[in-house]
Each structure stands twice: as structure tokens, then as C-alpha cells.
Amino acid sequence: MKTVNVGIIGFGTVGRGVVKILLSKKKLLKQRSGLSINLVKIADKNLRQRKGMRVPGKLLTKNIDSILKDRNIDIVVELIGGIHPAKEIILKAITLGKHVVTANKALLAEDGEKIFMAASRFRTLLGFEASVGGGIPVINVLRNSFIANDIEVIYGILNGTSNFILSKMSDECCSFRQALADAKARGIAERNPKLDISGVDSCHKIAILVRLGFGLNIKLKDIHTEGIEELDPVDIQYAKNWGYAVKLLAIARKSGQKLDVRVHPTLISLKNILANVKFEDNAIFIKGDMAGGSLLYGKGAGSLPAASSVVSDIVEIAKGISDFKKAKDFFRSDFDTGIKRAREISELFTRYYLRFSAIDKPGVLAGISSILARNKISIATVTQKEKKAGQPVPIVMLTHQANEGKLNKALEEIDKLNFITKKTVKLRIMR
């Protein structure tokens, strides 16, 4: 089995997540990819940051060069963020023939061309799934799934902090300042939230998506960017009355030979799924001329979602530099997730919708509910509709969590009652 060696530079929020995944999911990754992904070194200036994690001491170093110059390391993961020294580190890694995975959206947006050109010249691979949309696989989908498409439009909610603030301003009709204070108190907004609320973070992300989707090496100054700091809750309420939500959208749309690209608070119809993307969630809509429109929705930030994306890049590169004939086929069903077999439907525990058809006479509800009670089915809500002349009366109820086997037994018994006119309708409720 081929071994691929990984060095991580930056042991902060995302770095800790990546280390956690590489150490705890080693077996799963091996089973699914046929490769041994080996974490060999972690470099950070501040090594104290490993709260609650058991990382073998020999993995840790303060010396970044000990990763860059280690001939055994195949993939360098840059997770320190910011332009400097991340840029110099990545360029040096590429020059030394390393493949690079990064989550650094600011750097790729501002200086992507230089980095991509270097990777191309030195024939190394570059992964950056975590740079946009955290745990949402938008880079993979654009690079691979939509490869046969001319992209017509990409738009989305790319900043969780802003979306949290806007959701709160909309739901609670509070001011921007109040909503921001709450976001800070919950640890959603950073102490200095300028990049998020000014729209610059969304601008960085749409610049990366524009490069992938439209092949344009766009300059940040050419992206019209407005933030949400000036928004008055009264406008959110007026918009709501007219059937719109206000969201900070990043938009890139093909318009002949020009690209309409911008970031600003936008009124969006409440019928659009994006209007219903709440709190810190992100969502991205992509329309290709062949695939049609596709929406990706999920966690836009957080240590583990971003780390999950970083690790997917690591594995993709590891596969890319391996002979595919040696890698195991992930679609075979012999990897172990601890699941042995399908569960019987009679073992299901869920909530149910029930509709009984009965002759309207005294004792009907008592008869039904006593049988349910005996089978430990508890009723959450019930409605008995007025009957139309000559028709049986419908009794409709929602149950609490119940066992399907017991429920079926109860319904069998109920359907034999002389006042029941039709087989009872049973529908399951999604929890």
C-alpha cells in the first residue's frame, strides 16, 4: 500500500481539526482510498494551542523549514492564513516540488495567479476546497462535476457571520449593532469582524469561484463590494412585507463578454431557497448550460467542516500522485462503518400521522385511544372534523415517537372495530 506523507503548517482552529481527522480516521481513509495517509509533522510558532488533543510530541515543531525541506513529505498543508508569510511558504513549498493544500481564501483571491502559475510550472497539485464554503464541496463540484458546462451564473451566501446578523435582524427586528454584539457573544463573529461584515470575505470567495467557473483572473478592485454595516432593520421589515428577504449575496453572472460580479445586501424572493438559509449556514447556487441549476447548502465554517474539506483535498492529491491501479476502489462495499445489516421496519421509532374513518357515534375516540394507549402509542395532537351528511367522520392525529411494530398491532385491532369504516391511513413523520 502506498504511503503519502503530510506536513501541516499552522495549528490553529482548522489545523487542529485536520490533525484530529488524520489521526482518528486513518483506518477509514485507508479502506476508502487504498492509501496510507501519514501525518508526519505539525509546525506552528505557538505549540501550546493543542487543548484537549493527544498529539504525539515528536510530531510538533516550531521550524517550518523542517517540513518544507523534508524530502519524505509529499503534501504541505498551509493553514496559517493571511498573505504573509503564507504566500512565501506556499511558493517555497511548490518550488521544492511539494503538493499544497490550503484554506487561504485571502491569498488565493489576491495572489492566486502567481500561486497557480508556480504550481503549474513545477508540476505540483494544489487543493483549496476549504477556501470557499467551509464544509460545502463547491470547489470539487465546479472543478469536476461541472467540467462539461459553460457556467452561466454563480451566486450565494458565502459569509456565515453576516448571514447570522441578517437572520437575527430579520427575526428579532433588532439593529445591526445589537445583532453583531450577539454574534460576538456566541463566538460566531470574530473580535474584529471587519472582513466579514464589510463583504470583503465574500468578495475573496467569489473571486476564487469566478476563476474556476468563468476562467477570469479577476482583480478584487473590479468586484463591486458593499457590506451590511449600514443596513437599517426597517428596510428588512419593508422588504419582508413585499415577500423578500435581505441577504448578503455574492453574484457572478455571464453577460456577453463581460462578467457581472458583485457583493452586496440583496432583496431575494422568499420563494427562493436561498432566502431560507438561516444563521451561519452558507449556500451556493451554480447554473451550467448542461447540468442546469444546482444548489449546495451546508456549514460554511467551523473547525471540523473546514478540516473535512482539507482532508478531501489531501486524499484527492494522494490519489492523483498514486497509480490508480494500486488504489482501492472506494465504491466497493467492503469498508467497515460498523453497520452489519438493515433494520426491520417494525423496529422503527418515529412519529406518525394517522387518519381514522369512523361512524359518528359516542365512544369512537375513546375506543381508538384506549387501544393506542394499551400499545404505548401516545397522541400528540388530534382533530375530529365535522362530518358531511352520510360520510364517515375523519379523526386525524399526530403521535409522539412510537414503535412501528406496536403501532401496526394497534391499527390492526382498531381497523376491526365495528365503527371503523375504512383502513386507517398511516404516514410517517420525518424527525
Q: Please provide the DSSP assignment of 245-310 as one string.
A: EEEEEEEEEEETTEEEEEEEEEEEETTSGGGG--TTEEEEEEEETTTEEEEEEEE---HHHHHHHH
Residue with cell 402509542: 377
Kindly tell me which of 230 and 362 has the beta carbon lying closer to a second copy.
230
Which positions from 132 through 171 interact with a second copy, judged by CB under 8 A?
135-137, 140-141, 143-151, 155
Query: Which residue from 301, 262, 290, 255 is spatially nearest to 155, judged by alpha carbons?
Result: 262
Least distance to a second copy from the beta carbon of 155, Å? 7
Which positions from 41 through 100 interact with a second copy, judged by CB under 8 A?
none
Of positions 55, 91, 181, 291, contacts a second copy by CB under 8 A: 291
347 binds a second copy (CB under 8 A): yes
Cα–Cα distance measured from residue 103 to residue 77, given in angstroms and rounded to the nearest whole number: 9
334 binds a second copy (CB under 8 A): yes
Least distance to a second copy from the beta carbon of 75, Å? 13
Of positions 42, 189, 250, 267, contacts a second copy by CB under 8 A: 267
Of positions 335, 405, 406, 424, contacts a second copy by CB under 8 A: 335
Binding flags for a second copy, 304-333, as an x/- string (CB under 8 A): xx-xxx-xx--xx--xxx--xx--xxxxxx
- The amino acid at 135: G
Kindly tell me which of 41 and 99 has the beta carbon lying closer to a second copy.
99
Cα–Cα distance measured from residue 209 to residue 109, given in angstroms and rounded to the nearest whole number: 9
Using a 10 angstrom Cβ sphere, with 0-12 exposed, 13-18 middle and 19 or more buried, the burial of residue 221 is exposed
C-alpha cell, 51? 487543548
396 in helix, strand or coil? strand
Between the alpha carbon of residue 176 and those of residues 182, 198, 216, 262, the distances in Å are: 10, 12, 34, 22
Least distance to a second copy from the beta carbon of 115, Å? 10
Say which of 87, 105, 205, 254 is annotated catalytic: 205
345 binds a second copy (CB under 8 A): yes
268 binds a second copy (CB under 8 A): yes
Least distance to a second copy from the beta carbon of 248, Å? 11
- Is 20 part of the annotated catalytic residue set? no
Contact in structure between 113 and 83 (CB atoms under 8 Å): no
Which positions from 209 through 238 interact with a second copy, judged by CB under 8 A?
211-212, 214-219, 222-224, 232, 234-235, 238
H/E segment holding residue 355: strand 349-358
Using a 10 angstrom Cβ sphere, with 0-12 exposed, 13-18 middle and 19 or more buried, the burial of residue 246 is buried
Kindly tell me which of 69 and 332 has the beta carbon lying closer to a second copy.
332
Binding flags for a second copy, 380-409, as an x/- string (CB under 8 A): -x-x----------x-x-x-----------
246 binds a second copy (CB under 8 A): yes
Q: How many other C-beta atoms are found inside a 10 Å radius of the C-beta of residue 337?
A: 8
Which positions from 179 through 208 interact with a second copy, judged by CB under 8 A?
none
Kindly tell me which of 166 and 371 has the beta carbon lying closer to a second copy.
166
Catalytic positions, written as ranges? 205
